Amino acid sequence: MTKETHYLSFGKGKKSLVFLHGWQQSGKCFTPLIPHLYHKYKIYLLDMPGFGKTPYRSGLNNSYDYAEFITLWLKTKRICNIVLVGHSFGGKIASIIAADNPSLIKGLILISTSGIPHPRFYYPFLPFLKRFPMLNIFKRFLISHDYKEAGKLLPVFKEVVKEDLKKDFSRIKTPTLIIWGDGDNELPSADAFLISSLIKSSSVKIIRNTAHFPFIEKPQKVASLIDEFFSNL
């Protein structure tokens, strides 16, 4: 149930920022932003089901299920005047929410967001490695860290990495800011411009000398972009 969803809240502003974290992360990953934003905004840092202190719920099998769950949480909490901020996996969920529930949020901020598939040439061959234990040594070098650490969420992970959100991005009408690190080695910065081309009311900000977590590497810069974006809505 949504009441089991763990979250941290900061600030007392009338404007709300709701943050959705990436895979294998928790709401705490956004805490470097708090000193720069708490004085002006009401901030919510969620632990999504299966991460942080929120237990996994059966029935959450893909990003669309997670989006439905978070939408229910937002409505239950009656949070208004929202700018929804999503990083990586959380950005996918935020995008689906914005596409399906445009009246629920005022603005959307996507940070190093997944949703553009980048299939590896070896993906089709991974199942065959199970038949040949001697070849598992190669599997350790092929599969990602997230795959290795997925644990009970591995079936979910296998689904979310295959999802193509191009059609969902194109349905978003909410004003959107896309933030990316120029040195992101997990998701190429070219994705930022592809996603922006699909979202009509969007803009891109590339942060120099940062990778997949620009809000940790340069929190003050990211916070200033968030503040500027919210102020212009």
Q: How far apart are CA 228 and CA 111, in angstroms?
A: 15
Rounded Cα–Cα distance for residues 91 and 194 (Å): 15
Tens digit of pLDDT per residue, the chain (233 long)? 566 899 999 998 889 999 999 999 999 999 999 999 999 999 999 999 999 999 999 999 999 999 999 999 999 999 888 999 999 999 999 999 999 999 999 999 999 999 998 865 444 555 555 565 544 554 554 455 555 555 688 888 888 888 999 999 999 999 999 999 999 999 999 999 999 999 999 999 999 999 999 999 999 999 999 999 999 99
CA–CA dist 212, 191 (Å, integer) = 12
Say how far apart CA 128 and CA 138 lie, in whole Å: 12
- What domains does the chain contain, in order, with CATH numbers? 2-117+164-231 (3.40.50.1820), 121-162 (no CATH)
Q: Where are the alpha helices (DSSP H) in 161-213?
A: 166-170, 190-198
Q: What is the pTM of this model?
A: 0.89
Give Cα 208 to chain centroid, integer Å. Answer: 20
